[in-house]
Each structure stands twice: as C-alpha cells, then as structure tokens.
Amino acid sequence: MKSKKSIIQSAVSTLELEAAAILNVAKNINSDFEKVVSSILHGKGRVIVTGIGKSAIIAQKMVATFNSTGTPAIFMHAADAIHGDLGMIQVDDIVICLSKSGNTPEIKVLTPLLKTSGNLLIGMVGEMNSFLAEQADLILNTSFEKEACPHNLAPTTSTTAQLALGDALAICLLECRDFNESDFAKYHPGGSLGKKLYLKARDLALSNEKPAIHPSASVKDVLIEISKNRLGAVVVVDDDDKVLGIITDGDIRRMLENNNSIANLKAEDIMGRTPKSIQFDALAVDALDIIKQNNITQLLVLEQNTYFGIIHLHDLLNEGIV
C-alpha cells in the first residue's frame, strides 16, 4: 500500500505529464491546423470523427462538442467502418481519424478506403512517421513524450492531448462562426444550462398570480391579498397599472412594531416606494442576479413601465437556475 505522500506525488506527476503534453500540442499547432479549420468552415458536408480503442472514446466526445457548438458531426467507430459503416460517409464529408500510433490494423485497413472515396482525410496522430500520418491530407500533431501510466502502456497522456486538441478545434470553429449564447441555447434547451440561456422573466411571472392592490386599500385588504397569492408580497398600483410600491411580509411586521393602531393605515402608508424590478423580456438568470445583489425574495416584472407580474426566489429554485 502506497503512503499518503506517494499517492499525492503520483497524482501530481500524472497531472504534470499531461499538462506538459498539452503544452507540447500547443507548440505543434501549424498551418495544417488552420487548413483544417478552413476546410470544415467552408465544407458542404459533415465532420466524421473516427478512431479505435480509447481514441474512439475521445472521438465521441469531439463529436458531442462539435454538434453542440454548431459544427455538424458524426462518430464512426473504425472497426465498424470496415464492416458496413463506411456507408454513412457522404461525398462532401470530412473525416478526422484519431490514433495514438497511427499504425493499428484497423487504421491501416480503413485509411486506404477513405482515400479511395476522395474525402478529405485529417489525421490526429501522435506518431509522425506512422501509416496514418503518411496517408492523411492534413495532420493534427498530438505527439507526446510518455504515457502517465508507469508502464507507458495505458492511454492517458495521449488521450489527454487528443482531447485538448479536439477542444481547441471546436472552439476555433465556434469563434469563426460567431456562435453566440442564443445559438448555444438552441442546442441546449434542456437542464439548468439551457434555462439560463433562454428562460425569460416573463415565463416565470406568468406561472404566478399577479397580486395587486390600490394605494387606498386598508391593511385588512393588504393582508388578504398577500395571503391569497402566497408570494409573500403584494404590489401597489395606480389605475393605469403603474407600480407605486410593494408591500412584503417584512413590511407588515415592521408596521405592527411601529404602530399602536393600524385601523386608519392604508397601503400607501406602509409600502416600500422603491421596489426592485426587471423588464419582462430579460433573462431569468439576470433576475436571479438582482435578487442576490439586493438580498430580496421577490422581484417585480415590468412591461415597459407597467406591472406585468412578480417573481419569487422559489421560482428560480424550482427551475434549477440557482
């Protein structure tokens, strides 16, 4: 059993080796990388990413990243390719083949077939004197010194280099396409990430009641309205639905503490006159920022200058945005 010190040293050593490999990949970025980006940007087809073993797993991750950032891509396992899956490759598709050595049997069989079809073949390879490197039209160099595995066998450093270079390629394509947050939201509609990018303040406000009361309303009417809508607040509006103020549970407590008699008090006497608000077409995540910054639980939603609705902190919690 390793000591605690040696366990930590092993982890640090692994990370240092893999970090060095990424830096080495960065040094090897050259004109071929630029040509790969340009070819994909101006290509009419998709990007087919293939590999065998651990490289196939990295290829799948590359495909997922490409598709989520605006570059249509398909994964093709190198072993399955030579047993029928080559049929998925169309005339205008570009093929990226990942391989640590560039000399595995499957790659040696697959590469000539890809060359025959006339598709642009990009080799992401760690050995520059390999079969794949010699046959590829363009090369993405993932050379590295050694695997993090003490026996220099288990793909670790090599796959880290592939993963990092794949990310660099995807981000370059993203930036060249001017792929923005709105575009990102189209491909990520589910989960909290998608909601942060597309859910609007109005969407949350519409799911709530719209508590409102006239400034001349009695304290009793205020209490009834707050209790009825279960949002912990009521908005004070004029006849044109313009916001005059807000009354929260906290305002009610302060009213009781500061007044011996509340019989003659009106809504306008106890309301807060500078309520925080957000426009109805703003993102819900921006509403969360306002709530956090001001340490409040309710936020008014306005359409221009008129009262649209109200958001409670619980609405944001329920949507998983917090």
The annotation places the binding site for Zn(2+) at: 77
Facing residues of 233 across strands? 248
From the number of C-beta atoms within 10 Å of its C-beta (0-12, 13-18, 19+), residue 308 rates as buried
Q: 3-state DSSP call for residue 22?
A: helix
Binding-site residue positions? 77
* Cβ contacts of 56 within 8 Å, gap of 6 or more: 50, 75, 77, 78, 98
The β-bridge partners of 306 are 242, 303
- The C-alpha atoms of residue 131 and residue 103 are separated, in whole angstroms, by 6
How far is CA 302 from its chain centroid? 28
DSSP state letters, 112-142: HHHHHHT-EEEEEES-TTSHHHHH-SEEEE-
Sign, CA dihedral 278-281-282-288, equals positive
Residue indicated by tokens 């396409």: 177
**Collapsed DSSP state (helix, strand, coil) of residue 65:** helix
Helix 191-198 vs helix 284-294: crossing angle, to nearest 10: 90
